[in-house]
């Protein structure tokens, strides 16, 4: 089988990529609107870009009819956002925030989650999440054509909040974080099933 993604419609290309690129970390993004409404929504295209400066990027698509999602509208307003880690205990709540809500409605309120003030950015943090990354927008790139626009938001991590109980010997053990990953369709995975492979030594003297 050989497929050229350019020959596929948007939906088919999406299904192809999300079934290949697995597992994907979940960016549970909290933002604030111009009217002061807190928004919380999950996205499964998150990646580290650079360590110094510490940059991450998240891809935010459009609604099927082409209009912008609340998250990107809010980011364009405030120029900041927070990435909240999703662990196994928060999986159901995260899934509920993926539903459509009007921009005047806060997912925090609808799902029963707790927004707390960030130290640096305007966007709130999620109190229940084990890790929060306060991010300030560095650049936003757009790809695609209407109605299938994707926004690649690059943010600098300004401050990281970590629950004390999972910070052990100056690191976060995978088993303590208990993060979940996104697969294709409605499927997710746990990240606590580990195996080890030592990096090989160079074969050259």
> At a CB cut-off of 8 Å and minimum separation 6, what does 131 contact?
84, 85, 160, 161, 162, 163, 166, 172, 177
Residue 13 domain-assigned (yes or no): no
The pLDDT of residue 110 = 96
**What CATH number does residue 71 fall under?**
2.30.110.10
pLDDT value at 19 more than 90: no
Q: What is the mean pLDDT of the chain?
A: 93
Q: Taking 80 as the threshold, does the pLDDT of residue 22 lie above it? A: yes
Residue 2 lies in a domain: no
Is residue 169 pLDDT above 70, yes or no? yes
Which range of residues forms the domain containing residue 174? 28-188
pLDDT band at 63 (very low <50, low <70, confident <90, very high): confident
């Amino acid at each position: 089988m050989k497929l050229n993604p350019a020959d596929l419609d948007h939906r088919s290309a999406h299904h192809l990529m999300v079934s290949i690129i697995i597992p994907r970390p979940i960016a549970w993004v909290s933002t604030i609107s111009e009217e002061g409404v807190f928004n919380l929504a999950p996205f499964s295209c998150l990646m580290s870009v650079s360590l110094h400066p510490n940059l991450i990027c998240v891809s935010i698509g459009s609604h099927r009819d082409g209009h912008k999602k609340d998250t990107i509208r809010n980011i364009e307003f405030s120029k900041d956002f927070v990435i909240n880690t999703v662990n196994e205990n928060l999986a159901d709540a995260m899934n509920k925030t993926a539903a459509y809500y009007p921009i005047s409605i806060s997912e925090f309120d609808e799902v029963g989650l707790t927004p707390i003030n960030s130290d640096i950015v305007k966007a709130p943090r999620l109190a229940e999440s084990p890790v929060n990354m306060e991010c300030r927008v560095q650049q936003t790139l757009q790809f695609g054509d209407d109605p299938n626009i994707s926004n690649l938001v690059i943010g600098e991590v300004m401050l990281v909040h970590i629950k004390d109980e999972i910070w052990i010997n100056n690191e976060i053990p995978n088993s303590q974080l208990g993060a979940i990953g996104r697969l294709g369709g409605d499927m997710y995975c746990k990240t606590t099933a580990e195996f080890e492979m030592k990096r090989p030594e160079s074969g050259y003297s």
